[in-house]
Amino acid sequence: MINILLVEDQMLVRQGLKLMIETEKEFQVSGEASNGQEAVTLCEKQTFDVVILDIRMPEMSGLEAGRKIRQRWPDVIILMLTTFNDEEYARLFVN
């Protein structure tokens, strides 16, 4: 089973993504958060294989949360979720 943390500030979007992800039997959304700070806190309490982060969220962005998660848990796979067509966001996270 692949444990996924899904981080998206819009509840309806998060619920829809969860439904789509869990159609695959190997995937389980075992954690949900509405901002980057909640995501980091959940990672402190639970182990995830994959973290899916929205880029723009209140309190702490997905970019900032992704950096913190990668630094503390380098084996976690991080996927960035965005509706923006801007490569600058991807470069910000990688650098």
Q: Which structural domain range is residue 25 located in? A: 2-82
Q: pLDDT confidence of 81, banded at 50, 70, 90?
A: confident
Q: Is residue 58 part of a domain?
A: yes
Q: Is residue 60 part of a domain?
A: yes
pLDDT at 34: 96
For the chain, what is the domain count?
1
pLDDT tens per residue, range 36-80: 999 999 999 999 999 999 988 889 888 899 999 999 999 999 998
Residue 83 pLDDT greater than 90, yes or no? no
Residue 93 pLDDT greater than 70, yes or no? no
Nearest alpha-carbon partner for 81 in 68, 69, 73, 93: 93
Q: Is residue 95 part of a domain?
A: no
pLDDT at 85: 62
pLDDT at 90: 55
Kindly compute the dihedral angle of the four CA atoms of residues 16, 40, 83, 13, in this order, to the nearest 10 degrees.
Answer: 20
